[in-house]
Amino acid sequence: MTAVATEKDVFKLVEAILYSYPQMKKEIQTIREHIMFDKEEIDENVGGGRPSLPGKPTERIATRLAMDRDLEQLERIVQAIEEVYNSLPNEYKRLIQLRYWTSRKYRWEKKMTWERIADELHVSQTTVYLWRREIIEAIAERLEEEGA
């Protein structure tokens, strides 16, 4: 039996990714810094012979950056979100900022409600929900194209 993701599942996943975007950007930076500035390299070539990474430090760092699968996946996701975001009208961008990327001062503070976002953008709640769906679907399509 194979599991097929429903439209609702995909919607929830993409929305969770959108919420996580600011943390993903930080994680990419952390991984890059770790790769670039980590002086402790583990010699996995126990049996001798030539190492698989290039001998020059700059080439070794570039190779490690290119080979890190977690970094590659995060970068594809972030790139897909940024491409969609940059192509959106300003009102849609503001919706994303208000709902998904506005940090809360305290953990117990709730995210901004859809009603408040609609008021803030001077549109109806129905319009806000429509924009939300369009944004999530556009990001889902872009992620699929990226293979993320």
HSE toward the beta carbon, residue 51, CA cutoff 13 A? 10
Distance between CA atoms of residues 19 and 15, nearest Å: 6
Domain ranges of the chain: 7-38+56-146
pTM of the model: 0.72
Beta strands in the chain (DSSP E): none
- 3-class state of residue 106 by DSSP: coil
Which alpha helices (DSSP H) does 38-106 contain, by range? 57-67, 69-87, 90-96
pLDDT of residue 132: 97
pLDDT of residue 50: 52
pLDDT of residue 51: 52
pLDDT of residue 61: 56
Please report, in tens digits, the pLDDT of each residue of the chain (148 residues total): 345 568 889 999 999 999 999 999 998 888 878 776 765 554 455 555 555 544 555 555 555 555 567 778 888 999 999 999 999 999 999 999 999 998 766 666 678 899 999 999 999 999 999 999 999 999 999 998 877 6
- Whole-number CA gyration radius for the chain: 20
Give the chain's largest Cα–Cα span. Answer: 68
In the block, residue with structure tokens 């129905």: 126
pLDDT of residue 30: 85
pLDDT of residue 56: 59
